[in-house]
Amino acid sequence: MSSIYLFNIASQRSHWLAVRQETVTGNIAHANTPGYAARDVQPFEAVLQSSHLAMATSDPAHVADTPPGPDRVEAAEEDDWQTYDSGNTVSIEKELVKAGEVNSAFALNNSVVKTFHRMLLASAKG
Amino acid sequence: MVDPLKVSQGIAAAGLDVQSHRMRIIAENMANAQSTANTPGGDPYTRKTIVFSNDFDEALGSNLVGVEQIGKDPSPYRVERNPSHPAADADGNVKYPNVNILVEMADMRESNRSYEANLQMMKQSRSMVMMTIDMLRSS
Amino acid sequence: MLEQLLPAISGIGSSTPVQGDTSVRSRVAVTETGDDFGNMLARMASDTFDTLKAAEATSVAGITDKASVQQVVESVMAAEQSLQTALAVRDKVVSAYLEISRMTI
């Protein structure tokens, strides 16, 4: 069942994207809080490599377990678009760009999973 | 397990709340930009400032933005010479509030922008949840 | 339903030929040591059952606001997939059994 691998990766990606969305929302909400440093999540490749045990599973009953969450890291923004005296490093434009990326990646992820699910059901019917 | 999308809706809601507080303070400052004292030589309206905080919320399990304090701007009052004014002191000077309308307008625009960004995050989190549920539909 | 078919399925999978109308269920003890096909079907049936149970538990947790939406959707989709597969296998097995039972001796 090679689709298991795809569904597993898609599940991890979905969770990663949800955590990134939470982080971006937090950044935007704290855009005017003094001393707040903008945060971002680890890249998805790093999360993927740290969980190769999850790829070997073939028992779909284990899907309900908590997937390993991407750790939140304080991102030192390399190219600040703006600097604030208060020590706040949030740039709303940058965060909105990230949010757009999250949105399209999430839509793609879900569409892929939905399509493969449908294909699997269709192949089982025939 | 904590659902990040649900948490992010709570975070965005706190952001909206805080920005609307800020708008209220700005509106108050702008409305009272010319309010002098009633008594001769008295202090006029003092410009209010708002400072945000970053507190951990038990129920949601995440850090939420909040209002730390609403303070007074310590910068000096604007002084104009107008001996016939009821609030003129012995030298004929009237103290006007330390509110700069242009600064307040810029603040208002920035607060509006933050409010809309928070609103967009709230909408996006909600639509992501609906997209997930949609996967079950018609499949 | 599949559990009821299992003894019959195991009987079909064994290497000894079907003899007359001797009930295949008597062969259950013989096939305990297991042919690969029989074991595979038994494992598949129990896996399907486990997946369905897990999906039900996650759905209840989702309805009572204890599980996240993503977990519920994932387990329900996995249950749907494994149930569909099990149904297809069951249909094939039943039709194969019927075909064999119609074979002239």
ipTM of the complex: 0.88
Place of tokens 């039943």: C94
From residue B80, alpha-carbon distances to A49, B5, B103 in Å are: 69, 54, 20
Residue pLDDT, tens place only, C78-103 = 999 999 999 999 999 999 999 999 99
- Eight-state DSSP code of residue B57: E
Is residue A90 within 8 Å of residue A28, measured between CB atoms? yes
Residue at B33 is within a domain:
yes
User: 3-state DSSP helix/strand/coil percent for chain A, to nearest 5?
Assistant: 60, 5, 35
Best of C70, C73, C77 to mutate (most B CBs within 10 Å, chain B): C70
Does residue C33 belong to the interface with chain B, where contact is any CB pair within 8 Å?
A: no
Instruction: Of A82-91, A100-109, B90-99, give the lowest mean pLDDT range.
Output: A82-91
Kindly report the nearest CA distance between residue C2 and chain A, in angstroms. Answer: 16
Confidence tier at B137 by pLDDT (50, 70, 90): confident
Report residue A11 as tokens: 């599940």
Residue at B61 is within a domain:
yes
Residue at B139 is within a domain:
no
Q: For residue C89, which of A125, A117, A120 has the smallest C-alpha distance?
A: A125
In this model, does residue A29 exceed pLDDT 90?
Answer: yes
Per the rule left: phi > 0, alpha: psi between -120 and 50, beta: everything else, B88 is beta
Report residue A97 as tokens: 């760009």
Residue of B nearest to A15 (CA): B4
- What pLDDT, on the 0 to 100 scale, is given for residue B126? 96
| Cα–Cα distance measured from residue C71 to residue C64, given in angstroms and rounded to the nearest whole number | 13
Is residue A67 within 8 Å of residue A9, measured between CB atoms? no
Chain-chain contact of A64 with C58 (C-beta, under 8 angstroms) = yes
- What pLDDT, on the 0 to 100 scale, is given for residue C22? 43
Write down the mean pLDDT value for chain B.
92
Other C-beta atoms closer than 10 Å to the C-beta of C6 total 17
Cβ-based neighbours of B37, under 8 Å, separated by 6 or more? B43, B44, B87, B95
Residue pLDDT, tens place only, B41-77 = 888 999 999 999 999 998 888 899 999 999 999 999 9
Instruction: Of A2-6, A66-70, A92-96, C66-70, give the lowest mean pLDDT range.
Output: A66-70
User: b or e along B12-33 (b: 16 or more beta carbons within 10 Å of the residue's beta carbon)?
Assistant: bbbbbbbbebbbebbebbeebb
In this model, does residue C9 exceed pLDDT 50?
Answer: no
Nearest to A28 among B117, B127, B134 (CB): B117
Mean pLDDT, range B96-112, rounded to an integer? 95
Instruction: List phi, psi (to 5°) of C16.
Output: -75, 140
In this model, does residue A4 exceed pLDDT 90?
Answer: no
Q: In DSSP terms, which residues pair with B63 in a beta bridge?
A: B56
Is residue B69 within 8 Å of residue B52, measured between CB atoms? no
Chain-chain contact of C70 with B139 (C-beta, under 8 angstroms) = no
State pTM to two decimals.
0.79
In this model, does residue A27 exceed pLDDT 60?
Answer: yes
Its domain, for residue B40, covers 4-134
Percent of chain A with pLDDT over 90: 46
- What pLDDT, on the 0 to 100 scale, is given for residue A89? 82
In this model, does residue A79 exceed pLDDT 70?
Answer: no
From residue B70, alpha-carbon distances to A99, B19, B51, B101 in Å are: 31, 13, 6, 19
Mean pLDDT, range A57-66, rounded to an integer? 44
Q: For residue B88, which of B45, B41, B44, B34 has the smallest C-alpha distance?
A: B41
Instruction: List phi, psi (to 5°) of B69.
Output: -160, 155
- What pLDDT, on the 0 to 100 scale, is given for residue C24? 42
